[in-house]
Amino acid sequence: MHPLLQPSDLPYQLPRFADFGDDDFGPAIDEGMAAQLAAVAEITANPEPASFDNTLVPLERSGEGLSRVLRIFSNKASADTNEAIDELRATYAPRLAAHSDAITLDPALYERLLAVHDQRDRLDPEARYLVERYVVEFTLAGAALGEDDKARLRKLNEQVSAQETAFEITLQADSNDLAVVIDDESDLAGLTSGEISAAAAAAASRGLEGKWLLTLVLPTPHPHLAALTDRDVRRRLSEAQRARGSRGGAHDTRQIALDILRLRAERAQLLGFANHAELVTKDNTAGTPAAVREMLARLAAPAARNARLEQEALSANAGFPVEAHDWAYYAEQVRSAEYDVDLAALRPWFEAERVLQDGVFFAANRLYGLTFTERTDLDGYHPDVRVFEVRQDDAPVGLYLLDLYTRDSKRGGAWMSSFVSQSELLGVDTAVVFNNLNVPKPAPGEATLLTYDETRTLFHEFGHALHGLLARATYPRFAGTAVFRDFVEYPSQVNEMWMLWPEVLANYAVHHETGEPIPAEVVERIEASATFNEGFKTSEYLAAALLDLAWHELGPDQVPADPADVLRFEADALAAVGLDNPAVPTRYSTPYFAHSMSSGYASAYYSYIWSEVLDADTVKWFEESGGLTRANGDLYRKYVIGIGGTKDPLASYAEWRGRAAPIEPLLERRGLV
């Protein structure tokens, strides 16, 4: 057996990253796929009547090795890719889609699942829910189709997978190409010394000695736009952000996006749905696209209204009508004038190591009894990666890996995933999870000072990490963060609340040079300005969520054929909901909408605000119940992050709170009351 398919002998099964190279992935994936298909064939060849023990249990065990290598490969492709890895991704995307179809479209396996489903009332609750989930997922994947339709479905799945991979690779290449080169350091006025040195290091890494390079981030707004004083540099940076994937040539993603949308729509109709949005929401907590659109529409009008009022205030301050590249800069000017709060000036209090150790880890210790010890004897997959051992009340929980800094080989954005997930069936009691962020890396010896938003992002992504570390499940299918897409953001959003929680903030927010705590009056002013600029933030997010939905509500014949029509469709879709303000561009435009086109959030970008209904209600509960206490953490873990995917999450939430979550706390938080 290939070493990549086997459990590592390192603590907590941390992969031995140094022991394998790029050439190892292909053979390991091939062997893993073959082994899983052999295991499935053994299940379907069993002459005994189908039972949970002879069907579901071996099915859950199958693919253990393949899953192990794919987790490592997926992270390599996202966090430290190269040309060879990109070629492997393009080669294996359709093969892996075909492999998945060989299992989900196997008629003998589906027949056995249905037979066990008929007997499910004899099973314990988690086993019964597992059978129910398998039948739903296999049915929605096409298991009940006739053979001719299955053949067409297999082809569509391979094509979709190949195009999604092509979109991500092409977007990454264009993002690297469009990074803004600065010739004169004075053009970077407004940035910190650490940010300027990071730009110099980025330029040097590309052989541009004596210059500075502003690398791009995934969403439309760039954090530097709030600080750069030179309006022309802001314009250049903003235009580069918005040009990705739409310039023509080899790195244009528009035709790929249209192909993806058409293929998804055709597949949805083959499966009996009007469009891809219907297919996706059917197996999420939302249920239907109409439910999603109803909620988003309820928020869009007041958000757009608030954004227009904000725009008037910013323009009055600037002395001219602000444009998209001006918004963040003048928002900070107005925030400072009205609330005496300058978020950019807070960076000296958000030194990365203090935020991590005395903020993020501290809150987790108070809530869950977790401790974090750095393991310098264990290596990550890149020199920048740090490894921490996690224990709870001195019992082992797993490992947490942090990959903080940006680099050309890492895709944009921030995310969490796992190398190892806990599973009682597989005899795995601990987990190995990791967070990836894209913070500019300063020169050696300089402090890493996080922006306000980067600090919030670290708390957010660590919420996902806690979910992956603390969930407990019997079966691999339910391990860690394996929950509905429009629920998974809820625990991460809740964890953001601890960033400004008084006890936590007082523990980490000290000036990195003087050691002085962040002034109490500054914190009060931050809280007083909580809804400032929320019209912009809510509008740009809703624009992206509604755009994602609009594209995926199209049938295959409705998807435009000409790439030149992509931005026209986008403009019309946003105008239809009143979110077409040029000064408030959508958070993601179609040509660089990786969430929608390549990373699993197709028809589900609404998930963030859908989950925020639960998040806002939960924050109220913590505030009313004593906040940062172990008792509260244990209760929240019991009903939310500790259950993994073993239960219906909304039913568990209602069991905990005695009701469904109301929307009012969300409206209040976003200034939409």
DSSP 288-319: SHHHHHHHHHHHHHHHHHHHHHHHHHHHHHHT
Q: Is residue 630 part of a domain?
A: no
Q: pLDDT at position 673, please? A: 84
Q: Let me know whether 10 and 128 are in one domain.
A: yes
Q: Is the separation of the CB atoms in 77 and 89 below 8 Å?
A: yes
User: Residues 173, 161, 271, CA angle at the centre, nearest 5°?
Assistant: 145
Give the tens place of pLDDT for each residue, 207-262. Answer: 999 999 999 999 999 999 999 999 999 999 999 999 999 999 999 999 999 999 99
pLDDT for residue 92 is more than 90: yes
Q: Is the separation of the CB atoms in 370 and 391 below 8 Å?
A: yes
Q: Is residue 152 part of a domain?
A: no
pLDDT for residue 664 is more than 90: yes
Q: Residue 390: beta bridge partners?
A: 372, 398
d(CA 5, CA 28): 7
CATH number for the domain spanning 66: value is 1.20.1050.40
Q: Is the separation of the CB atoms in 509 and 519 below 8 Å?
A: no
Q: pLDDT at position 449, please? A: 96
Q: Is residue 110 part of a domain?
A: yes
Q: Let me know whether 423 and 301 are in one domain.
A: no
Exactly one of 461, 534, 540, 570 is catalytic; which is it? Answer: 461
d(CA 529, CA 221): 20
Q: What is the mean pLDDT of residues 38-58?
A: 98
Q: Let me know whether 125 and 17 are in one domain.
A: yes
Task: Write out the two tokens for 437.
Answer: 């962020």
User: Residues 137, 143, 145, CA angle at the centre, nearest 5°?
Assistant: 135
Q: Let me know whether 395 and 473 are in one domain.
A: yes
Give the tens place of pLDDT for each residue, 167-208. Answer: 999 999 999 999 999 999 999 999 999 999 999 999 999 999
Task: Write out the two tokens for 71.
Answer: 């987790």
Q: What is the mean pLDDT of residues 397-416?
A: 96
Active site residue 461: yes
Q: Is residue 622 part of a domain?
A: no
pLDDT for residue 471 is more than 90: yes
Q: Let me know whether 132 and 229 are in one domain.
A: no
Q: CA dist 525 to 297, 532, 669, Å? A: 31, 11, 16
Q: What is the mean pLDDT of residues 376-398?
A: 97
Q: Is residue 7 part of a domain?
A: yes
Q: Is the separation of the CB atoms in 656 and 635 below 8 Å?
A: yes
- Residue 118, exposed/middle/buried by CB under 10 A (0-12, 13-18, 19+)? exposed
Give the tens place of pLDDT for each residue, 618-630. Answer: 999 999 999 999 9
Q: Let me know whether 362 and 479 are in one domain.
A: yes
Sheet holding 431-439, edge to edge: 370-374, 386-392, 395-405, 431-439, 415-420
Q: CA dist 424 to 73, 252, 432, 433, 638, Å? A: 24, 46, 15, 17, 17
d(CA 180, CA 233): 9
Q: Let me know whether 502 and 406 are in one domain.
A: yes
Task: Write out the two tokens for 439.
Answer: 């913070």
Q: What is the mean pLDDT of residues 83-104?
A: 97
Q: CA dist 322 to 316, 327, 584, 588, Å? A: 9, 6, 10, 20
Q: What is the mean pLDDT of residues 1-12?
A: 96
Neighbours of 10 (CB within 10 A): 17
Q: Is the separation of the CB atoms in 477 and 130 below 8 Å?
A: yes
> Mean pLDDT, the chain, as a whole number?
97
Closest CA to 579 of 298, 220, 304, 221: 304
> Which residues, 6+ apart, have CB-to-CB distance to 374 below 8 Å?
386, 387, 388, 389
Q: Let me know whether 264 and 209 are in one domain.
A: no
Q: What is the mean pLDDT of residues 354-379?
A: 98
d(CA 411, CA 170): 11
Q: Is the separation of the CB atoms in 140 and 279 below 8 Å?
A: yes
Q: pLDDT at position 173, please? A: 96
Find the helix or strand (DSSP H, E) in which 621 lies: helix 607-624
User: Among residues of the chain, what percentage have pLDDT more than 70?
Assistant: 100
Q: What is the mean pLDDT of residues 319-347?
A: 95
Q: Let me know whether 314 and 238 are in one domain.
A: no
Looking at residue 387, what DSSP letter applies?
E
Q: Choose the final residue of a domain: 144, 165, 194.
A: 144
Q: Residue 389: beta bridge partners?
A: 373, 399
Q: Is residue 171 part of a domain?
A: no
Q: Choose the final residue of a domain: 216, 243, 270.
A: 243
d(CA 236, CA 233): 5
Q: Let me know whether 467 and 570 are in one domain.
A: no
Q: Let me know whether 359 and 476 are in one domain.
A: yes
pTM given for the model = 0.94
pLDDT for residue 599 is more than 90: no
Looking at residue 13, what DSSP letter applies?
G
Q: What is the mean pLDDT of residues 139-154?
A: 98
Please state the domain count of the chain.
4
Q: Choose the final residue of a domain: 144, 170, 192.
A: 144
> Which residues, 6+ apart, have CB-to-CB distance to 68 below 8 Å?
4, 5, 6, 7, 32
Q: Is residue 626 part of a domain?
A: no
pLDDT for residue 600 is more than 90: no
Q: Is residue 631 part of a domain?
A: no
Domain that holds residue 212: 178-243
Q: Let me know whether 464 and 572 are in one domain.
A: no
Give the tens place of pLDDT for each residue, 518-550. Answer: 999 999 999 999 999 999 999 999 999 999 999
d(CA 108, CA 77): 35
